Amino acid sequence: MTKPRTLALLIVVAHWIFAMWHLFLAAKILPPPNNNVSWLAIVLLTSLHLGVSITLWKLSDKFTGLVSLIFFLAALGVDLYEHFLHKSPNNVFMVASGNWTAWFDASVFVLLVLEILGCSLGILVRGDRARKNKSTPELNSNLSKQRTRPSSSQFNALTA
C-alpha cells in the first residue's frame, strides 16, 4: 500500500470519528424535537465512510486521488452550507450558547480541516500522477533513438 493511500485512509477514518462525535454534539445543542441522534444518519455516514475506505483500499493509485477528492469535496460542500451559509440552529454563528457550544464549534472546524486535508491530498495525488505520466524516462530515451525521416511530401519537394 502506498503512502498517499494510507494517508487518505487515515483521514477518512478520522473524519468518520469526528463526524460521529459531531452528530452527538449536535443533538446536545439543538432544541427539541431535533435533539436526538438519528440512527439513519449514523448508518448512512458509517456505510459511506466504509465504502470510501474499501474503495481507497482496493483501487489502484490512479483512482485514489480522484475518490478522495470527490468524497471530501462533497463533505466540504455540505459542511460549509450547513454550518456557515444556511440559517439554521446548527449554524456556528447562530448556535444557542450552552455547555456544549464550544465543543460543537470545535467539531465543525476539525471536520472542516480534515475535509480540506482530504481535498488537498486528492489534488496532490492526481497532480503527482499527471506529472509522472508527462516525464517518463522510457519515453525520453526512445525519442533520442528515433531518426527523423522526411515525409513523402517533403521528399517530393526536395526532388522537384
The answer to whether residue 146 scores a pLDDT higher than 70 is no
Which residues lie closer than 8 Å to 68 by C-beta, 6 or more apart? Answer: 8, 11, 12, 56, 118, 119, 121, 122, 125
Cis peptide bond prior to 31, omega within 30° of 0: no
Tell me the pLDDT tens digit for each residue of 6-62: 898 999 999 999 999 999 998 888 877 877 888 999 999 999 999 999 998 888 777
- Greatest mean pLDDT among 36-40, 93-97, 103-107, 142-146 lies in 103-107
pLDDT attached to residue 160: 61
Q: What is the pTM of this model?
A: 0.76
pLDDT at 136 over 60: no
Question: Quick one: pLDDT band at residue 65, thresholds 50, 70, 90?
Answer: confident
Is the predicted pLDDT of residue 100 greater than 60, yes or no? yes
Q: What single DSSP character describes residue 4?
A: H
